[in-house]
Homo-oligomer: A and B are copies of this chain.
Amino acid sequence: MALIVQKFGGSSVASPEHIKRVARRVADTVDQGHSVVVVVSAMGDTTDDLIDLAVKVSPKRSAREMDMLLTTGEQVSIALLAMALQDIGKDSVSLTGWQAGIRTEAVHSKARITDMDPTRIFSELKEGKVVVVAGFQGISDGGDITTLGRGGSDTTAVALAAALKADLCEIYTDVEGVYSTDPRVVKHARKLQEISYDEMLELANLGAAVLHPRAVEYAKQYKVPLMVRSSFKPTPGTLVKEVATMEKGIVVSGIAHDLNVAKVALIGVPNRKDNLQLVFNTLAKESINVDIIVQSVVHNDRSDISFTVTKDDLTRTLEVLTSLQSTLGAKEIVCEEDLAKVSIVGAGMISNPGVAAQMFQVLSENGMYIKMVSTSEIKVSCVIDAADVHDAVRALHTAFGLDAVEAATVAK
């Protein structure tokens, strides 16, 4: 008998029918003799509906009051799921974030969990109940209701699993697991049986939307085994754990791509030691996230500084740079929009130094021009023309031996 934390997102509890299906799914696990703690998000569009209401009431919406408002969404879900479980004979109890002992910073809309007090959950489990916990929410030391921000319910599930020393944390979602690449791009994408936290973290940060990076970080920190699996099918899913069992000959685990990439370059910037920090500090103050940065020395006294931002941030980035241009003494500001980033991720790279070179070769053989490169221990990213990116993903998927025998079934 194991203790399992199961998390179901908003699309899994979108209607009364969905909630009843989730209840049956949870009951199956109980019938296998396990203790279960369920974490749920707000039903489908509830959060958007509540935001609409707030917009109609006031243009000023304090973060504290938005948290007060939005946390009702999960509270509705937990009550309904507890009823659905009771209806099929499973004793159960719903708990809000504060009742479940989820303590956070006194920050609204994006609080981090500071502490967990699982006393109440343990006492309910001891009475043989399924405990249904509201995701995404907690309580500050001052007694205010807080929310964890994006990816919040995943984080709640992982944090609970850590505090309860659960045997497994299952994240139910609308895909069957973590794929070697986007099955919508590569028909023969392979569902991974296992993946390491670090690889998952790179993939999550590269836009594989299956798990939120914060939840993966938390899982890595507390060594919580995560299972990503389908809400709709009983198939096994992908296990995320400390060190994944390496499949023979597989160096690269996954290939990610991102079409939301714009490149900006400052041309002919005089080499002064504070120029780089001036550019990137100013951008940081404007909350503009910079991804890949490349500085190339052109002449002895001048460099070109290029970097990527998301397309949404491009206009503001150019405004910032224009305001700095004379201070920097930059000759020119240029930008390029129709770009994409393709990345290979794999823990096996560390011991295989030729992987980056192999990636460059595949792209070059396919006539693709690499505009920027960025590497980490387990990742290589290249910026290329947006028009080439799907072909690049397919070519790399085949070249690194990831193609599955059977075509993936794309959920949804």
Q: Which residues of A are in contact with B by a Cβ distance under 8 Å? A: 16, 19-20, 50, 53-54, 56-62, 64-66, 68-69, 71-72, 75-76, 78-80, 82-84, 86-87, 93-94, 96, 99, 120, 143-145
Contacts of A58 in B (CB 8 A): 20, 80, 83-84, 86-87
In the complex with contacts A68-B82, A72-B76, A82-B68, A56-B16 CB distance below 8 A: yes
A62 to chain B: closest residue by CB = B86
Contacts of A144 in B (CB 8 A): 99
Please measure, in the bound complex, the distance between the C-alpha atom of A145 and the C-alpha atom of B19, giving whole angstroms.
Answer: 22
- In the assembly, how many copies of this chain are there? 2
A144 to chain B: closest residue by CB = B99
Please measure, in the bound complex, the distance between the C-alpha atom of A32 and the C-alpha atom of B191, giving whole angstroms.
Answer: 67
Contacts of A78 in B (CB 8 A): 68
Q: What are 7 contact pairs spanning A and B, CB under 8 A?
A: A53-B76, A61-B83, A65-B82, A68-B78, A69-B75, A75-B75, A99-B143
Q: Contact at B75–A62, with CB atoms within 8 Å?
A: no
Contacts of A82 in B (CB 8 A): 62, 65, 68
Q: Contact at B94–A65, with CB atoms within 8 Å?
A: yes
Q: Contact at B79–A65, with CB atoms within 8 Å?
A: yes
Contacts of A94 in B (CB 8 A): 65, 68
Pick the contact of A54 from B54, B60, B80, B143 — CB < 8 Å?
A: B80
The 8 A-B pairs with the shortest beta carbon distances in the complex, nearest first, are A16-B56, A69-B79, A58-B87, A72-B72, A68-B79, A58-B83, A16-B57, A65-B79
Please measure, in the bound complex, the distance between the C-alpha atom of A53 and the C-alpha atom of B43, giving whole angstroms.
Answer: 11
Closest CB in chain B relative to A102 CB, distance in Å: 14
Contacts of A50 in B (CB 8 A): 76
Please measure, in the bound complex, the distance between the C-alpha atom of A61 and the C-alpha atom of B87, giving whole angstroms.
Answer: 8
Q: Contact at B80–A57, with CB atoms within 8 Å?
A: yes
Contacts of A57 in B (CB 8 A): 16, 19-20, 80, 83-84, 87
Please measure, in the bound complex, the distance between the C-alpha atom of A58 and the C-alpha atom of B23, giving whole angstroms.
Answer: 11
Q: A50, A83, A120, A143: which has the most chain B beta carbons within 10 Å? A: A83
Q: Contact at B99–A83, with CB atoms within 8 Å?
A: no
Please measure, in the bound complex, the distance between the C-alpha atom of A80 and the C-alpha atom of B16, giving whole angstroms.
Answer: 26
Please measure, in the bound complex, the distance between the C-alpha atom of A19 and the C-alpha atom of B99, giving whole angstroms.
Answer: 29
Please measure, in the bound complex, the distance between the C-alpha atom of A58 and the C-alpha atom of B80, giving whole angstroms.
Answer: 8
Contacts of A68 in B (CB 8 A): 75, 78-79, 82, 94, 96
Please measure, in the bound complex, the distance between the C-alpha atom of A198 and the C-alpha atom of B336, giving whole angstroms.
Answer: 80
Contacts of A60 in B (CB 8 A): 83, 86-87
A19-B57, A58-B84 known; 9 other A-B pairs, CB under 8 Å? A16-B53, A54-B80, A60-B86, A62-B86, A69-B79, A72-B76, A96-B145, A99-B143, A99-B144
